[in-house]
Amino acid sequence: MSAPDSSEPNRRLKMADIASMVGVSTSTVSRALAGNPVIPQALRERIEGIARENGYVVNQQARGLRMQRTHVINVAIPLGHESGQLISDPFFLEMIGRLADEITARGYELLLSKVAAPEAGWLERMARSQRVDGVLVIGQSDQHEALNATAEWYEPLVVWGGAAEGARYCTVGVDNFAGGRMATEHLLALGRRRIAFLGPPQAPEVALRYEGYREALAAAGVAYDPTLTATTHFTLSDPTEGVRRLIDEGASFDAVFAASDLIGLESVRVLAAEGLDVPDTVSVVGFDDIALARQSVPALTTIRQNLAEGAARMVDLLFRRMAGEPAPSAMMQPSLIVRQT
Amino acid sequence: MSAPDSSEPNRRLKMADIASMVGVSTSTVSRALAGNPVIPQALRERIEGIARENGYVVNQQARGLRMQRTHVINVAIPLGHESGQLISDPFFLEMIGRLADEITARGYELLLSKVAAPEAGWLERMARSQRVDGVLVIGQSDQHEALNATAEWYEPLVVWGGAAEGARYCTVGVDNFAGGRMATEHLLALGRRRIAFLGPPQAPEVALRYEGYREALAAAGVAYDPTLTATTHFTLSDPTEGVRRLIDEGASFDAVFAASDLIGLESVRVLAAEGLDVPDTVSVVGFDDIALARQSVPALTTIRQNLAEGAARMVDLLFRRMAGEPAPSAMMQPSLIVRQT
DNA sequence: ACTGATTGCGCAATCGATTGCAAGAAAATT
DNA sequence: AATTTTCTTGCAATCGATTGCGCAATCAGT
């Protein structure tokens, strides 16, 4: 008995419904809603008005099928060598947030795929499903080969990570080698000589940081000691064990270069718990400059990656590639942020 | 001059291509790939084989249009009262990760929408675009009305948050009122009497925590002092000011109940920087139990929300609603985790 | 060998939009 | 008034899959 609402959403409206309400064909409605100038302004406004009043929204499936584009970007996070299921590193959150801003600003949507245990062909399926117009991969993980294989024929693909050897895919990232060198040089300048390295070296970006570390050691004439390298994942519990292992094995070290801030922060915590004072006894440098690095006590010295710029670059390159222009990889300079550790 | 690869992906394959390669109609290919038993096993395997060899992947746009479902779930994060653009709270990352697991496990994809400055009708557009089969909203923010309006006619909608008064939408969350009470009772049990509250009370879930706080005070016969309430956002820089403001205004307090761990951790840091010892002079309790709460020094006492369970519940309810079954809101019990603050 | 049941597979309609082409109406020109 | 030009607007094909219906081939039963 209630008066019929202006919007009575019993059934999903299609363009034909709007067309018959206005008394025109779907062609006209389609053109009007697309802002095509061949439709006179008066009529266009009438159509827009009726569409709005009835809460009509274009069916994106149909539109996508006809137009051969979806206005969706796939953001994939491969977790190849991460044992745990969870992404616990805030680095990802900031990156996702920045990418979301950039993608939304261009009128696109973001399809997030967490690729927990990469099966063969995951990236190829992603590229061929035609569900998305482009793919961004955050971190190479151990998927270097898969990336190369797909990049061979799929243009709109941009990867955040290191410029791995033999990579034929487009990467955006900071100069990880330089970052590793800067971190190590900083520790050397503090007088540290026994510098440990903590991180997952299977990931190309970490491998480059590691090379920078060894390069800096060599340049300073400090002998490289393999027992000071501990392999850990990016997850939260793993670095704990990594640091403990170093201590338990009796390795004597006076500094830690951690492959990520999360690993760095955890190292600081474990060292403190073991009675090793940071920074008096042991210095620590992280990588990323996540928000928590600044906030923690003591504040973590780290190598900063500018994610705002990085995300903007990735999206910029991706859209160029989607437009058919070839876009080259980009490398940005990291910077050393000296804090208390 | 290179030998033609087994997969020559010059052009995107459609089902008709596979059909002509096998020598059958698209109907048969479609049925075979869908595992329809009317297709004899031998033929089905031949079709599957050829499809695989040629890297054929079903066009999801076309499939979605025909089937009237997309196999995509929209996860929306409204940031109504967050001044900053960024989601910096790790709570979101863990939640997104858990939801991604649940959604992927059911063969669906996750479309992530960061709704930075909610415009009128954002949720309605989301629901009507037919780009997704259901919508999950993480946190009510200040969008209570929008949620109510859309829930009126759109079934597959589940919200993470508090059971706000007059909410006609389906919510999943912990009992925020009980959580607020538990936190406050814990502080009272420690002998604290001047307990400050920090958080954004516009969000319904925070409002409930606040009510629990006041309820506990009243039950203990401790006078409520409005000058001990400071409004802050969930971002990282804002709590800093919130705490400083309390101190600067000369409010004397011996405990802080923070509406989130991020606010709690920041409070600890600021208090320490101001020379107020935690926990000797001031006790702090947070909310969420993010990974960092355990890891920080001193480790943060907090009210734990079980996000793994919460995410599973949300997705479970959403899929029930997508199937047309009415599914009621769910409330889980939080638990007090006593640590060092 | 003939009828009826069963199985295997293709035809063609359908999902909801977009757009090239062209027809009819209106305006401008001669 | 007749013709040309310009505006509007609709017809119908198209994007790539799914599926109800029905025809032909195979098989079983007598």
Higher per-residue confidence, B280 vs A242: B280
Which residues of B are less than 8 Å from A114 in CB distance? Answer: 97, 100-101, 104
Strands (E), B19-175: 72-78, 109-115, 134-138, 157-160, 170-174
Of B251, B70, B288, B165, nearest in space to A109 by CA: B70
Higher per-residue confidence, A292 vs B167: B167
Order of all β-strands in the sheet with A109-115 = A330-332, A170-174, A157-160, A134-138, A72-78, A109-115, B109-115, B72-78, B134-138, B157-160, B170-174, B330-332
Give the pLDDT confidence score for residue B11 in this predicted structure: 65
Residue A29 CA, nucleotide D7 C1', distance (Å) = 17
CB nearest to A86's CB, from B94, B110, B111? B94
Mean residue pLDDT across chain A: 89
Would an 8 Å CB–CB cutoff place B109 in contact with chain A? yes
Give the pLDDT confidence score for residue B2 in this predicted structure: 34
Cross-chain Cβ contact A90/B86 below 8 Å: no
Give the pLDDT confidence score for residue B82 in this predicted structure: 63
- Average pLDDT for A151-161: 94
The packing angle between helices A261-273 and A90-105, to 10°, is: 160
Cross-chain Cβ contact B70/A61 below 8 Å: yes
Q: Tell the CATH topology of A72-174+307-332.
A: Rossmann fold (3.40.50)
Query: A5-30: buried (b, 16+ CB within 10 Å) or exposed (e) per residue?
Result: eeeeeeeebebebbbebbebeeebbb
- The nucleotide minimizing the C1' distance to residue A34's CA is C18
- Average pLDDT for A300-305: 96
Provide the CATH number for the domain formed by A176-304 in this structure: 3.40.50.2300
Of B251, B249, B185, nearest in space to B214 by CA: B185
Protein footprint of strand D, defined by Cβ closer than 7 Å to any strand atom:
A 23-28, 31, 38-40, 43, 62, 65-66, 68; B 12, 14-16, 26-27, 30-31, 33-34, 58-59, 61-63, 65-67
Residue B250 CA, nucleotide C3 C1', distance (Å) = 102
A24 CB inside 7 Å of strand C: no
Cross-chain Cβ contact A96/B112 below 8 Å: yes
Q: Which residues of chain B have pLDDT under 50?
A: 1-9
B72-174+307-333 is classed CATH 3.40.50.2300: yes
CB nearest to A128's CB, from B55, B125, B129? B55
A34 CB inside 7 Å of strand C: yes
Higher per-residue confidence, A12 vs A146: A146
- Average pLDDT for A232-260: 80
C-beta separation of A144 from B128 below 8 A: no
Q: Band of the pLDDT at A12, cuts 50, 70, 90?
A: confident
A279 upstream amide cis, omega within 30 of 0: yes
Residue B40 CA, nucleotide D27 C1', distance (Å) = 16
B43 CB inside 7 Å of strand C: yes
Cross-chain Cβ contact A110/B112 below 8 Å: yes
Cross-chain Cβ contact A128/B12 below 8 Å: yes
With CA atoms as reference, the chain B residue closest to A64 would be B61
Which residues of A are less than 8 Å from B100 in CB distance? Answer: 112-114
With CA atoms as reference, the chain B residue closest to A263 would be B295
- Average pLDDT for A14-23: 94
Of A238, A188, A229, nearest in space to A207 by CA: A229
B27 CB inside 7 Å of strand C: yes
Cross-chain Cβ contact B60/A109 below 8 Å: no
Strand pairing report for B157-160 and A330-332: unpaired
Residue A4 structure tokens: 């019929």
Give the pLDDT confidence score for residue B219 in this predicted structure: 95
Q: Any idea where the domains of chain B sit in the sequence?
A: 15-58, 72-174+307-333, 176-304
Residue B189 structure tokens: 């049990």
Order of all β-strands in the sheet with A195-199 = A229-231, A195-199, A255-258, A283-288, A301-304, A335-337
Which residues of A are less than 8 Å from B56 in CB distance? Answer: 128
Q: Band of the pLDDT at A172, cuts 50, 70, 90?
A: very high
Is the torsion defined by CA of B123, B128, B130, B131 positive or negative? negative
**Positions of chain D reached by protein Cβ under 7 A:** 7-12, 14-20
With CA atoms as reference, the chain A residue closest to B56 would be A128
Would an 8 Å CB–CB cutoff place A110 in contact with chain B? yes
Would an 8 Å CB–CB cutoff place B333 in contact with chain A? no
C-beta separation of B246 from B225 below 8 A: no
A15-58 is classed CATH 1.10.1040.10: no
Stretch among A33-47, A223-237, B161-175 having the lowest mean pLDDT: A223-237
- Check for a shared fold between B72-174+307-333 and B176-304: yes
Of B185, B213, B179, B204, nearest in space to B289 by CA: B179
Report whether pLDDT(A31) > 90. yes
Q: Band of the pLDDT at A4, cuts 50, 70, 90?
A: very low
Report whether pLDDT(A235) > 70. no
Instruction: Work out the minimum CA distance from B150 to partner chain A, whole angstroms.
Output: 11
B33 CB inside 7 Å of strand C: no
Report whether pLDDT(A180) > 90. yes
DSSP state of A228: G
C-beta separation of B259 from B200 below 8 A: yes
Give the pLDDT confidence score for residue B162 in this predicted structure: 86
Would an 8 Å CB–CB cutoff place B92 in contact with chain A? yes
Residues 129-148 of A with CB under 8 A from B: 129-131
